[in-house]
Amino acid sequence: MTPKKTYVSVILPLKLDWMPCYSLPEDTNARTGDWVKVVFANRTYSGIIAKYDIIPDTEPLKIKDVAGVCTNLSPVTAEEIRLWEMVADYYLCSIGEVFKAAYPALKISQEETLARMQERERAKREKLAENISLKIGKLEERLDRKRKKLEESENSAKKKEKTIAGLLESIEKISDEIIGLKGRLEEISASYYGAGESIGPEGGKTAGPDTGTGNMPEILLTEAQETVYRQVLTAFSQGKPVLVKGVTGSGKTEIYLKMAQRIMSEGKNILYLVPEIAVSRQLERRLQAIFGDRVLTFHSEMTAAARRNAAEKIRRSRSEGRQYMVLGTRSAIFLPHMALGLIVVDEEHESSYKQDSPAPRYNGRDAAVMLSTIHGCPIMMGSATPSLESVFNAGCGKYFMLTLDAKYYSAAEAVTEIIDTTAERRKRGMTGSFSKKLISRIEETLGNREQVLILRSRRAFSTVLQCPECGEIVKCPHCNVSLSLHRNPDRMVCRHCGFTAAFNSGCPKCGATLQGLGSGTQRIEEETRALFPSARISRLDSDTPKTEAADIINRFNSGETDILIGTQIVSKGFDFPGLTLAAVIAADSLLGIQDFRADEKAFQCLEQLRGRCGRRDKQGTFIIQTSQPDHPVYRQLTEGDSGTFYTELMAERREFGYPPFTRLVNLCIRDRDEPRAETLAARLAEALGRAFAEAGADNLPEIVSGPFPPPIDRIAGNYIRIIRLTLKKDRRLHDMKRLAATTAANFEKAARCQGSITIDVDPY
Ligand code: ADP
Ligand code: ZN
C-alpha cells in the first residue's frame, strides 16, 4: 500500500490564472506560506505554498513532487497571501504577478542563481556605502567650516545675531544629515546575509525589549487639531477609514504623529505611506526625531537585499517585543506586516500611488484600505486637495471626512495673481518666458533675501524641434512624439522611451537649421540666470541625477540657493521656510492633457504649490502665467472656495458618466504592426460586446467604447489601441470585471497574441 500523498497548490511568480499543484515528498515538513522550489514548464521557480493538503484535480501520476523546501526563508503570512488575492481579484491580474511585486528579488530563473544575485547585491551595497562615506566626509568638512565661521562671528566686535542664528541653523541641519547618513551606513552594513545564514528571528541581534512610547517627545495639538484628532478616534471606533482634508500647513502631519504615538503605546505597529521617498526626506527626519530607530524607510528603489532586510526587521520586531513604523512608498503594503495598528496615507490624491506597469496596476492608497480590512486596523488618509474618488467615498458614507481649515502659523493664504501672457505679449510686456510683472516680483523677493520657486511642467531645453523651412517636426523613431532638445551635452531625447540621439541642428528632411520651440526647465534656467545674474539658482527635474536631488532640496531649504526651478516635483511635500514667491510659467501645459482628470490634477498641482509659499508668518505670493486666464481652474484659485470647484467637477463627472460615478477598466492592445494592432483591438472589442450582451448588460455602447488610439499611439515601437469599459457601480460590478478579464484571456489564447493585452482597472 502506497502511503497517502499530500498535495499543495503553489503560487509562482508568473501570469497564470490557476495555481499549479505539487505533491510533497515523504518526510517533507512544509506548511502553508512556506517557500518551495518547483519545476514548472522545465524551469525551476521559487514559489509559496498557498493551500496545504488539497484534492488535486489532475491525474495524480502527472503531479510532480516539489523539488525542495527553502527552510532558510521565513514563510509568508496568511495576511500577505490574503492581500495578494484581494489585489489580484480587484485589479484583474494573477496572484503570481502580485507575489512578484511583493518579493521581486526572489524570482530565480535557471540562469541566475541566488548566489550570483547576492554577489551583485554585495557589490552594489559596497559602492553605495562608499558614496555615502564620501558624502559624510564632505559634510564634515562643511560642518567644520561653518563652526569656524560661527566662532569668528561670535568673537567679532559687532556680533550679527542674524548671521549667528543662520549659522547655528545650518550647523544643526548638517549634523542631522550626517547622523542620518551614518544611520544608513550602519543599515547597509547590517543588511547583508549570505544564503546559508539564518535570517529567522534567532539570526538577528537581540536588543532589549523596547515597548511603549515613554521617552518620546510629546506632541501638543492646537485646539482645532485636537478636535479633529478626537473625531478621528470616534471614526476609528466605528471601523471607518478616515479622510482628513486640511490645507497645507494645518498640521495634518502632527495629527498623524500623535495618533501613531498612541497606537505604538498600545504595542502596535504603523505603516506610513507616502507617494515618493525622494520628496519625503524632511518627513523622515521628523519621524526619526520622534520614533527614533523604530522608523524603517522602505521604497521600491532599494536593493533587493535591503528590502529583504526590512522585511526581516519587521519579522524580528515581534520576537524582540519592539514596535516599528514603516515609512514607505506603495509597495510597502506588501511587507510582512504584523500587529498593524494604523495605516497613514499621506497626500492620498497623488497619482504616483498608482502603478502603471507592470501588473499589478494597483493604487497604493486603495490597496492600503484592503490591507486595513485584512488586519482590522484603522486607516487615515490625508490631503489638502483630496481626490474626487475619496471625496465621493466620504459623501456616500464609506469614509469619514474631517476638515482642518486653519494654518498652524499665522500667515494668511498666499495672494494669487494671474498674468495673461497673450495680453502682455501684445503690450510688449514679455521678456522671453517671463512677464515684466513677474520679473519685478522676483527682483523684489530676492531684494528681501527671500526665496523663489519656479514651476515649468516640462523638462528639457526645447520641448519641440521644428524646421522653419519645410515644417518638419523631429519625432522619435519608436514613438509618436516629438523629440525634445536637451543641453549640456546637446542631445535629442524621447520622453517616453528614453531614445537619445546626438543633435546636429540640421533638419532630417531638408537640412535647414532646426528651431527649438517650447521652453522647458533647462531653457527657463538659462533665462533666469541671464535675468538675475547674481542669484544662486538650481534646477530639479527628472534629468537631475538621483544622488543630487536631496542636495538640491537641502540647499534650497537652508537658504543656500535663492531660486529653484523645477517640474511638478517641486510642488510636492516640501516645507521651505524662506519661500515667499512661487510662479508657474506656461501653466496651460498643465491643462492641455487629453484626460478627464486634467482639471482635477492641474488644480491639485497648483493648490499644492500655493500652499508651499509663505508657510510661516509671512504671506506669500503665487503667480500664474497663462494664456487662458479665465479657465475655471485658475478662477477657483483667485476667487477661493475649493468647495464650489469640487462641486462643479463632481457634477461634470456625473453628467459624463466618469469616475467616481462609474468604474473604468482599460484594455490596452500593443503590437509592432499597426494594422494588426487595429484588427486585434476591433475583434477584442467585438468579443467584449458579445460577452456583455450575453450577460444581459443593457446600454452596451455606454459600456464598451473604442478601440481608439491614445494621445500617444506609438511607444517604444509598439502601436497602441485602447478599449475602455465604463462599468456601473452596482451589485454586478465584480462579475462584469471578471467577465472582461476572462474574455480578454480567452481572446489572447484564441488569437495567439499572448502578452499583447494588458488590463488596467481604475486607470490614471
Ligand atoms: P500639514 O501636514 O497639514 O501640511 P504640518 O503638520 O506639516 O501640516 O504643519 C505645518 C507646520 O506647522 C510644521 O512645521 C509643524 O511643525 C507646525 N505645526 C503644526 N501643528 C503644530 C503643533 N500643534 N505644534 C507645533 N508645531 C506645529
Ligand atoms: Zn521614443
- Residue 484 CA to ligand 2 center (angstroms) comes to 11
* Count of all residues that appear for the chain in the document: 764
**Distance, CA 496 to ligand 2 centroid (Å)?**
5
Closest CA to 330 of 369, 284, 363: 363
Nearest CA to ligand 1 atom 10: 249
Q: What is the pLDDT of residues 514-533, one digit of tens each?
A: 999 999 999 999 999 999 99
In the three-class reduction of DSSP (H, G, I as helix; E, B as strand; rest coil), residue 502 is classed as strand
Check whether 577 has a pLDDT greater than 50. Answer: yes
Q: Are residues 297 and 441 in the same domain?
A: no
- In this structure, of 54-58, 188-192, 224-228, 744-748, the range with the lowest mean pLDDT score is 188-192
- 649 and 689 housed in the same domain: no
pLDDT band at 199 (very low <50, low <70, confident <90, very high): very low
Q: Are residues 189 and 150 in the same domain?
A: yes
Q: Could you tell me the pLDDT band of residue 190, with boundaries at 50, 70 and 90?
A: low
Cβ(254) – ligand 1 distance below 6 Å = yes
- What is the mean pLDDT of the segment spanning 364-377? 97
Q: Do residues 323 and 268 lie in contact, with contact meaning Cβ atoms separated by under 8 Å?
A: yes
Residue 45: which H helix or E strand, with range? strand 43-52
188: pLDDT strictly greater than 80 = no
All 3 cell numbers of residue 372?
A: 486595513
Is the pLDDT confidence value at 195 over 70? Answer: no
Is 682 a domain residue? yes
pLDDT at 226: 96
Torsion of CA 218, 224, 227, 232, to 10 degrees: -80
Residues 580, 445 share a domain: yes
Half-sphere exposure of 758 (CA within 13 A, CB side): 14
Q: At what angle do helices 733-751 and 674-694 cross, to 10 degrees?
A: 140
Q: Do 123 and 139 sit in the same domain of this protein?
A: yes
Strands 579-584 and 621-626: parallel
197 CB burial (10 A radius; 0-12, 13-18, 19+): exposed
Q: Return the ligand 1 atom nearest residue 248 CA.
A: 4
Among 225, 227, 250, 254, which residue has the most ligand 1 atoms within 8 Å of its CB, making it the best to mutate? 254
Same domain, 598 and 626: yes
Q: Does residue 289 share a domain with residue 398?
A: yes
Q: How is residue 24 written as a grid cell?
A: 510533497
Output the pLDDT for position 711: 85
pLDDT of residue 245 exceeding 90: yes
Domain C-terminal end among 57, 81, 105? 81
Domain with residue 439: its CATH number is 3.40.50.300
pLDDT higher than 80, residue 415 = yes
Which ligand 1 atom is at minimum distance from the Cα of 225? 23
Residues 341, 268, single domain; the answer is yes
The residue among 81, 103, 127 that closes a domain is 81
pLDDT band with cut points at 50, 70 and 90 for residue 202: very low
> Closest ligand 1 atom to the C-alpha of 257?
6
Is 621:581 a contact under the CB 8 Å cutoff?
A: yes
Chain segment 723-734, per-residue pLDDT in tens: 999 999 999 999
Task: Report d(CA 755, CA 749) in Å as an integer.
Answer: 10
Question: Rounded to an integer, what is the distance from CA 79 to the centroid of its chain?
Answer: 23
In a domain, 280, yes or no: yes
* Mean pLDDT calculated for residue range 347-371: 95
Do 381 and 235 belong to one domain? Answer: yes
> What pLDDT does 204 receive?
35
Q: In terms of pLDDT, which residue wins out, 175 or 20?
A: 20
Total count of domains within the chain: 5
Residues 382 and 531 in one domain: no
Residues 6+ apart with CB under 8 A from 549: 278, 540
The CA-based diameter of the chain, rounded to the nearest angstrom, is: 100
315-346 pLDDT, tens per residue? 888 788 889 999 999 999 999 999 999 999 99
Does 665 share its domain with 648? no
pLDDT tens per residue across span 280-321: 888 999 999 999 989 999 887 777 677 778 888 888 887 888
**Is the per-residue pLDDT at 702 higher than 80?**
no
The predicted model gives 265-276 an average pLDDT of 94
User: Mind giving me the DSSP string for 379-407?
Assistant: EEEEESS--HHHHHHHHTTSSEEEEE-S-
CA–CA separation, 568 and 585 (whole Å): 12
What's the N-to-C CA distance of the chain in angstroms? 59
Helix (H, G, I), strand (E, B) or coil at 163: helix
pLDDT of residue 194: 27
| Residue range(s) defining the domain that contains residue 244 | 223-404
Give every CB contact of residue 118 below 8 A, 6+ residues apart in sequence.
Answer: 194, 195, 305
In three-state secondary structure terms, 314 is helix
Q: Is position 120 within any domain?
A: yes
Confidence of residue 229 (pLDDT cuts 50, 70, 90): very high
Tell me, what CATH number does 47's domain have?
3.40.1440.60
